[in-house]
Amino acid sequence: MKPTSIDHSQFESLYATQQRFFKHIIARYFEGPQQQDVLQDFAIHLFGLLHLKKDADAHLFESKAWLRTVLVHFCISQLRKEKAQKNNVWTKTMTQHIIVADEMILGKEQALKELYQEALGCVSKKEALVLKMKYEYKCSAKEIERRLGLPHVDVLLGRIKAKIKNKMGRIELEWW
């Protein structure tokens, strides 16, 4: 059943009359800008309750005691969710670790791409295709042999690497 305009007007009336009361109770549990966030979340919760209980238990919404109980339970629930998130070690650790890793790897990744492009320029088109299949498309040597009809791709890869090392004047290439 979809909420009707009657639900909406009932909710607006209830929320307007009880907003100060709600803010007062929320202030007991939360501080600063978090109070407004909790008030908004509670407003959504209250609208859902109004929609579910308006027919059978409409009298509850006129009782400040019931509204206080609902709001206190909602605040306690929010505090438990917060505490669970704070105790979750992985959330903070992973976020910080990923941010640090991204900053460090970004420059290195670009250098590796440039090195890879430079290396592809040192070989023939056929050899470049073999390298791309192996390192970009992650094909196995057997699959490259099958698709290109080449024998002994492992040996060919070793020869291509040696050719690149000689032409580029490097002894160790990090992307191998």
Confidence of residue 74 (pLDDT cuts 50, 70, 90): very high
Per residue in 128-142, pLDDT (tens digit) is: 888 888 888 888 989
Confidence of residue 166 (pLDDT cuts 50, 70, 90): confident
Confidence of residue 86 (pLDDT cuts 50, 70, 90): low
Q: Where are the domains of the chain?
A: 5-87, 104-168
Q: What is the mean pLDDT of the chain?
A: 79
Q: How far apart are CA 17 and CA 45, in angstroms?
A: 17
Provide the CATH number for the domain formed by 104-168 in this structure.
1.10.10
Q: Is the pLDDT of residue 82 over 90?
A: no
Calculate mean pLDDT across residues 137-148: 89
Q: Is the pLDDT of residue 93 over 60?
A: no
Q: Is the pLDDT of residue 73 over 90?
A: yes
SS (H, E, C) 104-173: HHHHHHHHHHHHHHHHHCCCCHHHHHHHHHHHHCCCCHHHHHHHHCCCCHHHHHHHHHHHHHHHHCCCCC
Instruction: Give the percent of the chain with pLDDT over 70.
Output: 78
CATH class of 5-87: mainly alpha
Calculate mean pLDDT across residues 154-161: 88
Could you tell me if 76 and 31 are in contact, meaning their C-beta atoms sit under 8 angstroms apart? Answer: no
Q: Is the pLDDT of residue 87 over 70?
A: no
**Does this chain's domain 5-87 share its CATH topology with 104-168?**
no
At position 43, the amino acid (one-letter code) is: A
Confidence of residue 102 (pLDDT cuts 50, 70, 90): low
Q: Is the pLDDT of residue 5 over 70?
A: no
Nearest to 74 by CA among 42, 44, 106, 43: 42
